[in-house]
Amino acid sequence: MKEPKDKGKSPLIEWVKIVLDNNKEAIAIVENRQEEITKAFKEILSGYQTNPATVLKKVAETENFGGLVCEAGIRFMSMCRHHFLPFFGTANIVYEPGEHIIGLGKISRLVQVYAKRLQFQEKLSNEIANEFMQSAGAKGVFVETKAKHLCMGHRGPNDPGAVAVVTVALGTLKGYEAEQRARELIAHSSTHEK
């Protein structure tokens, strides 16, 4: 990254001046760390560099598989698009394959691609579920995300222990009985981790 000609005129410095009421110490820190800050945010928001539709590569035909696939405890970190603060947690995904099964590593990769964007937890969960239906040709999918939001813990309500849970169910996994079956599979996977 090239150094700005006038460090005091960079958008980042101007933002720090407004937020911190022209605090000289904070401005000096940011002036000397612009390259590192830029590099960090490029990595934090790197999900925009990958087309999610290319992630769920089909591995093999299901050959009348007829069951459900669960990947639980996928850890993610994301950036809230409302307050521009991180939120982090786990994603649990259950899907019923259509004509193909998906490489298990690709499931986790898809979560990371969507998480490394400016997100709402609700949108993150919905985008993952829709990608399974569209790109993987799944018959049904159940996505559950559980996350702690720094905007809840470090401002506003100041409740660092609060956990938000979002679920999205589509296709054959939509409806009370199907969703309960998915939750039981996730719970079983969670006890296996211990």
Please report the DSSP string for 8-71 in residue order. GGSHHHHHHHHHTTT-HHHHHHHHHTHHHHHHHHHHHTGGGGS-GGGTS-EEEE-SS--S-EEE
Can you tell me the distance from the alpha carbon of 185 to that of 188, in angstroms, rounded to the nearest whole number? 5
In a domain, 2, yes or no: no
Statement to judge: residues 12 and 93 lie in one domain:
no
Q: Rounded to whole angstroms, how far apart are CA atoms 182 and 173?
A: 7
Q: What is the pLDDT of residue 190?
A: 75
Report the candidate in 45, 130, 128 with the shortest Cα–Cα distance to residue 92.
128
What phi and psi, each to the nearest 5 degrees, are found at residue 45?
-110, 25
Domain ranges, residue 21: 7-44
The one-letter amino acid at 69:
V
pLDDT at 75: 98
Give CA–CA dist 57/105, Å, rounded: 10
My answer on whether 135 and 87 are in the same domain is yes
Number of domains in the chain: 2
Q: Is residue 156 part of a domain?
A: yes
As to burial, measured by CB atoms within 10 angstroms (0-12 exposed, 13-18 middle, 19+ buried), residue 22 is: exposed
pLDDT digits (tens), the chain, 194 positions: 455 455 446 887 888 888 888 888 988 888 899 899 889 999 999 999 999 999 998 778 877 788 999 999 999 999 999 989 999 999 999 999 998 899 999 999 999 999 999 999 999 999 999 999 999 999 999 999 999 999 887 888 888 889 999 999 999 999 999 999 999 999 998 776 55
Q: What is the reported pLDDT for 79?
A: 96
Neighbour tally for 167: CB within 10 Å: 16
Same-domain check for residues 107 and 182: yes
- pLDDT for 1: 47
* 105-143 burial: b if 16+ Cβ within 10 Å, else e: ebbbbbbbbbbbbebebeebbbbbbebbbebbebbbbbb
CATH number at residue 106: 3.30.1130.10
Residue with tokens 């996350």: 147
Whether residues 14 and 76 share a domain: the answer is no
C-beta of residue 69 within 8 angstroms of C-beta of residue 125 = no
Give pLDDT, residue 140.
98
